[in-house]
């Protein structure tokens, strides 16, 4: 499991990183809210641990911007703000769970694993469908009203990734990792070529591929 720990207290950051690494997890750390989204986009984790009191941007701002970009990683908020109002505010901003400081490390680990399990179960659930488009779970093909679309493998990979979050922006970086896995020699701009071709394939299907500059791509119903 890969965790992104966004915590500006150096002692707390070191303690949590050491604790989770002893439990066999990979931990990426960040102590600055302004840089947190870059770390999040660069290597999408399985769970984010997010402190609310951060320099640059506070935790709620980081969370709100991440959700607006379509970053749907489960987030567990860690904070000294323990009032009901603070918990409600965090959950309404897109957090999946909330743990007030001080906390027990075993409870924290249990909550992290529970979030990862729920996210994994959701990903393995019913195939995504949107405007008549559906991914066939067995073959990986994308069908329109039950009929397979003629797509190149990379076009199909891009469409499957977008169908997982229809109506939500999916960052280019995440799509690039999905469409060109393990291909370090491919330039990031190559995803734009695949998106251009897929957009043409979707003409007349009732679904539109939209480019959001600085954010990524999303699928929406054609006007």
| pLDDT, tens digit (0-9, with 9 covering 90-100), for 154-193 | 999 999 888 887 777 888 888 888 888 878 788 989 999 9
Residue 20 pLDDT = 92
What residue numbers bound the domain in which 203 lies? 129-221
**Of 122 and 104, more confident:** 104
CA distances 82 to 12, 47, 91, Å, are 17, 21, 13
pLDDT tens-digit profile of 65-115? 888 877 888 999 987 765 556 666 666 677 888 888 888 898 899 889 888
Position of tokens 């394939």?
201
Pick the last residue of a domain from 102, 123, 144: 123
State the pLDDT confidence band at 6, using cuts at 50, 70 and 90.
Answer: very high
Pick the last residue of a domain from 99, 123, 147: 123
What is the phi/psi pair of residue 188, to 5°?
A: -55, -30
Gap between the Cα atoms of 118 and 217, Å rounded: 25
Q: Are residues 192 and 105 in the same domain?
A: no
Q: Are residues 111 and 151 in the same domain?
A: no
Any idea of the CA torsion for 24, 50, 9, 112, to the nearest 10 degrees? -30
Q: Are residues 181 and 213 in the same domain?
A: yes
The tally of domains found in the chain comes to 2
Q: Are residues 47 and 151 in the same domain?
A: no
The encoded tokens of residue 128 equal 């995504």
Residue 88 pLDDT = 65
Output Rg (C-alpha) for the chain, integer angstroms: 19
Q: Are residues 62 and 171 in the same domain?
A: no
- CB neighbours of 144 closer than 8 A, spacing ≥ 6? 132, 133, 205
Which domain CATH number covers 70? 3.40.50.2300
Pick the last residue of a domain from 123, 152, 183: 123
pLDDT tens-digit profile of 21-63? 998 899 999 999 889 988 898 878 899 999 988 888 888 899 8
Q: Are residues 57 and 114 in the same domain?
A: yes
**Of 123 and 131, more confident:** 131
Q: Are residues 14 and 114 in the same domain?
A: yes
Which domain CATH number covers 183? 1.10.10.10
Instruction: Tell me the sheet residues that pair with 143.
Output: 134, 148
Position of tokens 């054609």?
222
Gap between the Cα atoms of 76 and 98, Å rounded: 6
CB atoms within 10 A of CB 114: 15
Gap between the Cα atoms of 152 and 139, Å rounded: 14
Q: Are residues 79 and 26 in the same domain?
A: yes
- pTM for this model (two decimals): 0.55
Q: Are residues 146 and 99 in the same domain?
A: no
Gap between the Cα atoms of 51 and 6, Å rounded: 6
Q: Are residues 96 and 169 in the same domain?
A: no
What is the rounded average pLDDT for all residues in the chain? 85
Q: Are residues 16 and 106 in the same domain?
A: yes
Q: Are residues 91 and 176 in the same domain?
A: no
Q: In this structure, are residues 147 and 199 in contact, taking their beta carbons and an 8 Å threshold? A: no
What is the phi/psi pair of residue 153, to 5°?
A: -55, -40
């Amino acid at each position: 499991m890969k965790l992104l720990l966004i915590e500006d207290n150096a002692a707390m950051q070191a303690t949590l990183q050491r604790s989770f690494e002893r439990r066999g997890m990979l931990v990426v750390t960040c102590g600055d809210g302004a840089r947190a989204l870059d770390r999040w986009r660069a290597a999408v984790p399985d769970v984010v641990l997010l402190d609310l009191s951060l320099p640059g941007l506070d935790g709620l701002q980081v969370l709100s911007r991440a959700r607006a970009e379509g970053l749907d990683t489960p987030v567990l908020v860690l904070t000294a703000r323990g009032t009901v109002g603070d918990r409600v505010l965090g959950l309404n901003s897109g957090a999946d769970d909330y743990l007030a400081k001080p906390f027990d490390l075993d409870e924290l680990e249990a909550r992290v694993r529970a979030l990862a399990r729920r996210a994994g179960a959701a990903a393995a659930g019913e195939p995504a469908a949107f405007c008549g488009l559906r991914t066939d779970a067995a073959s990986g093909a994308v069908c329109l009203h039950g009929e397979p679309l003629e797509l190149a493998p990379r076009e199909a990979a891009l469409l499957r990734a977008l169908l997982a979050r229809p109506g939500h922006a999916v960052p280019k970086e995440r799509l690039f990792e999905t469409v060109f896995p393990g291909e370090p020699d491919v330039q990031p701009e190559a995803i734009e070529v695949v998106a251009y071709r897929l957009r043409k394939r979707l003409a007349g299907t009732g679904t539109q591929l939209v480019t959001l500059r600085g954010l990524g791509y999303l699928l929406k119903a054609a006007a």
